[in-house]
Amino acid sequence: MSGKPGVIVAFFAFIGAYAMRVIGNCGALAIFFFLASIKIFRSKQIHEITSQTYSIGAKSSLIVMLVGLFTGMVLGLQLFYTLVKFGSVGALGSAIALSLVRELGPVLTAIMIAARAGSAMAAEIGILRNSEQIDALYTMGVDPLRYLVSPRIAASIISFPLLTAFFDLVGIIGGYITGVVLLGTNAGTYFYRVQSSLGMVDIRGGFIKALVFGAIVSCVCCFQGYFCHMRKDGFGAKSVGLATVSAVVISCVLILISDYVVTSFLM
């Protein structure tokens, strides 16, 4: 008799609990970001920020440029054969530059850094948490948020736009390699179209996205690592592994969601 209502209640209870957890986590993430952000400007941060900028930014530059090169090349290839059908091969430079600078550059760069540096952030902080090194910081009077999280957020905000710029530049060169060198489009037309079609508004939009993605990726990854000991689905090393996976997956999803939101505001 009570089977059906019981199942329905349980279903809604599950949905409700899940929703509450998600909302709670969003709130915690917002507070975490706020507290960590205001601590960026405390003393003794320069060294840590520089070190993290090297780790997140400089060390990711090669992989970001490699991905940028091949993204540009594949774009050049796809767009060349599409534009040929409409007799507008001359617009190849514009198409590649605009799609890279406005959309693909910031998004793919953010995803690449989330995979490379974001996972490292989550794992490193998670291990510090599990081996009580974060507690040790606290007992020494060192604010763990200030020492561990703030420099990573600052470094990401510095690195993401710079790496995005590298990605865009190398992507345009990749498009040149396929479009001009391999498929014979006119080089002058290609670069003229790149220059004439790109406005400051496009570049600024791309950088705004990169800043937003930098804040999201660093905050999500640090948050996942910092609270990995509170996970219900795993303890110890497993919790670090799960935190790392969650960090990358949530970052990627949030990058795409926020991309839509930012784009709609910029349009």
Partner 1 sequence: METPLIEFRNVTKRFNEKTVLDNINLSIYENQVTTIIGKSGTGKSVLLKHIIGLLKPDEGSILFQGKPVSEMKKTEWEDHRRSIAYLFQNNALFDSMTVFDNVAFPLRQTTRLNKTEIDKRVMKRIEDLELGEAVGRFPSELSGGMQKRVALARALVTDPKIVLFDEPTTGQDPIRKNMILSMIIHYRKKFGFTAVMISHDIPDVFFISDRVVILWEGGVGFEGPYEEALRLKVPMIEEFLRSLDGFQDQLTGLLSREAFKMHYSAMLGNSSAEKTSAALFSVRLTVLYEALGAEASVEVLKALGEYTNRYFNNIGGFSARHSRDEILTIFPRKDLEEARRLVQDFADELKNGVVDHIRDMVSAGSDRGTCFDIYIRAGVMEVSPEDSIERIIEKGRAKQEIISKYRCDFGGNE
The residues of the shown chain that bind partner 1, judged by CB under 8 A, are 44, 131-133, 135-136, 138-142, 147
Minimum distance from CB of 229 to partner 1 (Å)?
A: 12
Chain center to CA of 34: 18
Do 152 and 223 form a contact (C-beta atoms < 8 A)? no
Nearest residue to 225 via CA among 113, 119, 137: 119
Q: Which is nearer to partner 1, 11 or 132 (CB)?
A: 132
Q: What are the residues whose beta carbons fall under 8 Å from the beta carbon of 18, sequence distance 6 or more? A: none
Query: Hey, what's the torsion of the CAs at 213, 215, 221, 222, to 10 degrees?
Result: 170
Minimum distance from CB of 153 to partner 1 (Å)?
A: 19
Minimum distance from CB of 172 to partner 1 (Å)?
A: 38
Q: Which is nearer to partner 1, 133 or 196 (CB)?
A: 133
Helices of type H across 114-199: 119-130, 133-139, 144, 150-176, 187-197
Q: Which is nearer to partner 1, 200 or 230 (CB)?
A: 230
Do 119 and 247 form a contact (C-beta atoms < 8 A)? yes
In the 8-state DSSP scheme, what is residue 42?
Answer: S
Q: Which is nearer to partner 1, 154 or 172 (CB)?
A: 154
Minimum distance from CB of 136 to partner 1 (Å)?
A: 4
Minimum distance from CB of 132 to partner 1 (Å)?
A: 4
161: number of CA atoms within 13 Å, CB side? 13
- 41 three-class SS: helix
Q: Which is nearer to partner 1, 48 or 202 (CB)?
A: 48
Q: Which is nearer to partner 1, 136 or 201 (CB)?
A: 136
Q: What are the residues whose beta carbons fall under 8 Å from the beta carbon of 148, sequence distance 6 or more? A: 125, 128, 134, 137, 222, 226
Minimum distance from CB of 131 to partner 1 (Å)?
A: 6
